[in-house]
Structure 1
């Protein structure tokens, strides 16, 4: 018999192929992840992962176990989420994720207005990390997420754009670009551009982490981070630069960071997304309220 925590650890490691990232994502220590996987392998009688000092990859049996377990695990997660929602008001409850402080600000205001209009409906605003927001949405443990656009995945509905704002470059306070009135996209060819996790939609990653400048010069690709705070920490430490929204400069004022406008870059956009098979009237109504709130919100201009 395989235990629930063993399934979660195994599936997460199979996706991340990195003990440290798996531990961080599950709020465990790397040793706990390693011990659990080791016990599982001893019980099965064969390695599930091939490990070296540099790489972790699934064995043939591990890959088959991943394919066999994933559908059942996703169904169990979805069933539990539906049961929780039913116990807290059934279809009259919404769980909305956010990954930025600006998004949380807008959603909280929209939730208050939505509850005023529909007092029978609960709206819970919950923080998610860059690395797990899409997984939580697809596992049906949340109804919608406030996301950077564009989101073009076919199984996801993208609502109207709620926030449009200038694109800035976050750099260390001691960086050569700090203090400049603005920069051009061409100058990114001389920097290490910090990257979003691969679990984010490819369309979002290409927008936030361009590979080439407009003139075709290659932009060096820096470290991949699992959370927004990791991106900011690495930028502050001089490990690279990161493209951010204008609201970041308002909510993340730090003495070790500077924000420089990118004069020839288009704006960044944000909106509410949800699963296509969960396209309910309730979600659409909440999206309409978000649009009304955003039209009056200074962050959305």
Structure 2
């Protein structure tokens, strides 16, 4: 049986009226009648009883309907799923986020995404700065939200979804702690802690200097942001952070001082270019539309 024959038979079996069936299928009544006659010749017996007043299924027609309807629905559903898979809007989307700044962002984006794409599961994972991009490349994540820039030829960056002032995290008893703001030049006055979560321009470099030419000295190393804060509280150095740290990482032994002459930090999504899917695009779009808190 051809698909149009199956669709015509099922529609007529449900409508039991040639005119309504033709309207439902967007065909002429004559075309519906012709299709049913061809199908009946192929089967060898009538499928419908026709009078001037009514159309009814024969016994064979009813059994054929009962057999075809669930099978047709199953095939149709399978095609819908296949199309959705091709568009990347089913399955699982693995989203990583670095730090509290992007945590709330991806939670709000995931809620909006799930409402739109109920067939796609979203799994959110907090990841450490160290190795975050490696997890993208190892196909452990489909999408990563972190601090720009990601200057890698195999990665694609989406829009910057958050922008925030830079702050200098210093020990609570540090001379800068009581000031309304600090300058990038002040980075030369204290050891700058070394950590994988360092903002790119503040990562270790023997030739690193302030804009005024003063050398920036590396301090002790830390592996996580909590270790960074612990070392700062112990008076062992300073660290450049985003303003969100003042809300999510307030500590009595750490003070946050605005850096008045530093550009803002920008946060957003990044993914492997070869893994650009409709799932990824749809999640980025949903996150971009989510209200900021």
Normalising to structure 1: TM-score of the pair? 0.64
Per the TM alignment, residue 121 of structure 1 is displaced from its structure 2 partner at its CA by 0.8
Q: Which residue of 2 is the match for residue 169 of structure 1?
A: 168
Within-5 A mapping of 1:80-91? none
SS in 1 for 2:175: coil
Give the distance between the partners of 1:126 and 1:219, measured in 2 at CA. 34
Gaps of 5+ in 2: 1-84
Segment of structure 1 superposing worse, 185-194 or 214-223 = 214-223
CA distance in 2, matches of 1:259, 1:133: 26
User: Could you say which residue in structure 1 is the equivalent of 2:138?
Assistant: 139
Residue 230 of structure 2 corresponds to residue 240 of structure 1: no
Displacement of 1:287: 0.7
Structure 2 partner of 1:218:
215
In structure 2, distance between residues paired with 1:235 and 1:245: 15
**Is residue 2:110 matched to residue 1:115?**
no
Other-structure match for 2:99: 100
Structure 1: runs of 5+ lacking an equivalent = 1-85
For 1:297, the equivalent position in structure 2 comes to 292
Q: Residue 208 of structure 1: CA displacement?
A: 6.3
Aligned residues: 205
- Partner residue in 2 for 1:269: 266
Distance 1:136 1:236 in 2: 31
Equivalent residue for 1:68?
Answer: none
What residue is the counterpart of 2:282 in the other structure? Answer: 285
Query: CA shift at 1:155, angstroms?
Result: 1.1
What's the TM-score once normalised by structure 2's chain length? Answer: 0.66
Going from structure 1 to structure 2, the CA distance change for 1:222 and 1:181 (only over 3 Å counts) comes to: same
What's the Cα RMSD here? 2.1
Report the equivalent of 2:158: 159
The residue that corresponds to 2:256 in the other structure is 259
CA distance, structure 1, for counterparts of residue 274 and residue 220 of structure 2: 34
Q: For 2:212, what is the secondary structure of its paired residue?
A: coil
The corresponding residue for 2:13 is none
Q: Distance in 2 between matches of 1:231 and 1:159?
A: 28
Q: Which has the larger radius of gyration?
A: 2
| Mapped partners of 1:151, 1:224: distance in 2 | 22
In 2, the alpha carbon distance for the partners of 1:157 and 1:185 equals 30
